[in-house]
Amino acid sequence: MSAEQFQKAVEDVKKLKTRPTDQEMLEFQKAVEDVKKLKTRPTDQEMLEVYALYKQATEGDCNTTRPGMLDLKGKAKWDAWNSKKVLIYRIYVKYNDLFAMIGMSKDEAKSAYVTRAKALIETYGLS
């Protein structure tokens, strides 16, 4: 399998995912607003997880370069977002190691965001 064929296969897999219903979209939008209204600020780790899921849900896979070493907050946010990618396939062709990283779909991220938001609301309450 050539690198081009492999990339086409990855793109085909991405297209197989279903679109969210209107209800799911409304639920996601409400969760985004509710997270902004938490009584107490969640931990930094919880905030990074929510940030990563939001970015994955709204923009898809992380497609920017990692911030420089002095931008600690930017690096933490980038690392959290980029962590939503998983290795899906690895092949060896002669001496080249070909692999693809594909993130969770936007729909999966929306669903995960809603689940996470509900847990945060239960823990911290709404103001």
Which of 5-9, 75-79, 102-106 shows the lowest per-residue confidence on average (mean pLDDT)?
A: 5-9
Tell me the mean pLDDT in the region 97-118.
Answer: 82
3-state SS of the chain is: CCHHHHHHHHHHHHHCCCCCCHHHHHHHHHHHHHHHCECCCCCHHHHHHHHHHHHHHHHCCCCCCCCCCCCHHHHHHHHHHHCCEEEEEEEEECCEEEEEEEECCHHHHHHHHHHHHHHHHHHHCEC
Q: Name which residue leads in pLDDT, 18 or 55.
A: 55
Tell me the mean pLDDT in the region 68-81.
Answer: 95
At residue 85 the predicted structure's pLDDT band, cuts being 50, 70 and 90, is confident
Q: Is residue 77 scored above 60 in pLDDT?
A: yes
In the chain the domains, ranked by start, together with CATH numbers, are 3-124 (1.20.80.10)
Q: Which two tokens stand for residue 74?
A: 């930017």
Q: Name which residue leads in pLDDT, 2 or 46.
A: 46
pTM of the full predicted structure?
0.73
Q: Is residue 94 scored above 60 in pLDDT?
A: no
Q: What is the mean pLDDT of the chain?
A: 84
